[in-house]
């Protein structure tokens, strides 16, 4: 088995947990290929040399990898998606961040998680993704998002977002922007603006306006085989367009289209974990803090 380990800067408080991860991998004598900037960071800033056999820097060097471990928060997990691309490599996230809906394995569970991984005690959840179709092939070579597409104002100015579903006019969102999310992304930015939580297996997209100027505007769930086209205009000269954590500033007016991506992301769900357990734990559902 070949396991790739991806991460970025790791805080010193997670040094011991990082050592434990590589020690757990060494115990099983699996082949480990580590992201080269991560190796350099660990060697210089955490002052140890992790167990590994090879390094990688780009997607082409991940061919033949069986599992990728994302070491960090959800942002790091999303970055790992752009590395894996359409190679269908399963990803397991170890949470060194805060809330962590995607990178759901916690630090105390590292040893047990590697044991479960090596014993193949997990299932692979296939998560649908968004594809952005745009002029000048924006975000190439990876115009896809696991969480969401966002268009928002670059300054405090109202946007007009004309929105069409399967070429039928839906509405004009007078707002600070619009979020189009997958079910996976329903617990991200969309949640913070009042959008519903969708289970990852739903075949749906979610449209949520950011600070709409009409009180009757509400989040809308549509089938994910629908095409979404938007026309963005406003008083200012530009908007920020995002795919997950990747941003571009574009001049307006601009026309953009969204479709379901032709491939899915493979997310490892270890035995004993589930989406419902994750949201119950992360959102403190059913817990009374008054006593």
Q: Is 75 annotated as belonging to a binding site?
A: yes
Instruction: Tell me whether residue 176 is annotated as binding.
Output: yes
Which are the contacts of 182, defined by CB distance < 8 A and separation ≥ 6?
Answer: 127, 128, 129, 130, 145, 146, 147, 148, 205, 206, 224
Q: Report whether 148 belongs to an annotated binding site.
A: yes
In this structure, what are the phi and psi dihedrals at residue 194, rounded to the nearest 5 degrees? 95, 10
Active site residue 74: yes
Is position 167 annotated in a ligand binding site?
no
Judge whether 173 and 246 are in contact, CB under 8 Å: no
**188 appears as a binding residue in the annotation:** yes
Was 211 annotated as part of a binding site?
yes
| Rounded CA separation 245/73 (Å) | 12
Give the end-to-end CA distance of the chain in Å, rounded to a whole number: 48
Q: Is 190 annotated as a binding residue?
A: yes
Cα–Cα–Cα angle for 282, 88, 248, rounded to 5 degrees: 70
Catalytic member of 74, 79, 224, 229: 74
Q: Is 203 exposed, middle or buried (0-12, 13-18, 19+ CB in 10 A)?
A: exposed
**Antiparallel, parallel or unpaired: β 177-181 and 148-153:** antiparallel
Catalytic residue numbers read 74
Residues comprising the binding site?
A: 74-75, 147-148, 176, 187-192, 211
Residues comprising the binding site for NAD(+)?
A: 74-75, 147-148, 176, 187-192, 211
């Amino acid at each position: 088995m070949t396991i790739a380990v991806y991460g970025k800067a790791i805080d010193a408080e997670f040094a011991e947990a990082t050592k434990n991860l590589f020690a757990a991998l060494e115990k099983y004598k699996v082949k480990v290929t580590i992201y080269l900037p991560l190796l350099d960071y660990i060697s210089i800033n955490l002052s140890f040399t992790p167990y590994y056999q090879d390094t990688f820097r780009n997607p082409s060097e991940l061919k033949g990898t069986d599992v990728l471990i994302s070491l960090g928060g959800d942002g790091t997990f999303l970055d790992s998606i752009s590395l894996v691309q359409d190679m269908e490599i399963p990803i397991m996230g170890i949470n060194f961040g805060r809330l962590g809906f995607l990178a759901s394995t916690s630090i105390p569970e590292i040893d047990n998680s590697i044991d479960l991984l090596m014993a193949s005690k997990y299932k692979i959840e296939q998560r649908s993704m968004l594809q952005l179709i745009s002029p000048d092939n924006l975000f190439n070579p990876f115009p896809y998002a696991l969480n969401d597409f966002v268009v928002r104002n670059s300054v405090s100015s109202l946007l007009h977002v004309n929105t069409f579903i399967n070429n039928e006019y839906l509405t004009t969102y007078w707002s600070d922007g619009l979020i189009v999310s997958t079910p996976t992304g329903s617990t991200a930015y969309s949640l913070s603006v009042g959008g519903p939580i969708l289970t990852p297996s739903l075949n749906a997209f979610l449209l949520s306006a950011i600070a709409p100027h009409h009180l009757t505007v509400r989040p809308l769930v549509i089938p994910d085989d629908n095409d979404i086209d938007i026309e963005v205009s406003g008083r200012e000269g530009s908007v920020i367009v995002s795919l997950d954590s990747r941003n571009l500033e574009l001049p307006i007016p601009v026309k953009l289209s969204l479709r379901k991506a032709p491939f899915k992301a493979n997310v490892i769900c270890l035995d004993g974990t589930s989406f419902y357990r994750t949201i119950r734990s992360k959102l403190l559902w059913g817990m009374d803090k008054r006593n």
